[in-house]
Amino acid sequence: DVKVTQSSRYLVKRTGEKVFLECVQDMDHENMFWYRQDPGLGLRLIYFSYDVKMKEKGDIPEGYSVSREKKERFSLILESASTNQTSMYLCASWANTEAFFGQGTRLTVV
């Protein structure tokens, strides 16, 4: 089974902190994605990556950056966390016919 693992299920951070959300996949997929999910807004794409060291902005990249140093790992970085970044963050790994999601990280910024 494809596995996409996010490092934390729940995180609480303070405003202004630098936050790292980690995602690892074990199927050698080239494509990886970061989404955030908010009630009434659905899943919105933050960043995606087609290969190591490659990244593309999604629909809402402001306040975020990403890192893809190894094929299996795609990190989302909140440079200076703000309360409006409180959300559920979902990582996905892409095969030709399916996108597999991690279990999600519920981030609360206080």
Partner 1 sequence: EDQVTQSPEALRLQEGESSSLNCSYTVSGLRGLFWYRQDPGKGPEFLFTLYSAGEEKEKERLKATLTKKESFLHITAPKPEDSATYLCAVRERNTDKLIFGTGTRLQVFP
Minimum distance between the CB of residue 16 and partner 1, rounded to whole angstroms?
27
Question: DSSP 3-state assignment of 32?
Answer: strand
The residue to which tokens 């559920």 are assigned:
88
Positions in 41-70 near partner 1 (CB under 8 A): 41-45, 48, 50, 56, 58
The 87-106 site mask, x for binding partner 1 (CB under 8 A), equals ---x-x-x--xxxxxxxx-x
Q: Which residues bind partner 1 (CB under 8 A)?
A: 4, 31, 33, 35, 40-45, 48, 50, 56, 58, 90, 92, 94, 97-104, 106
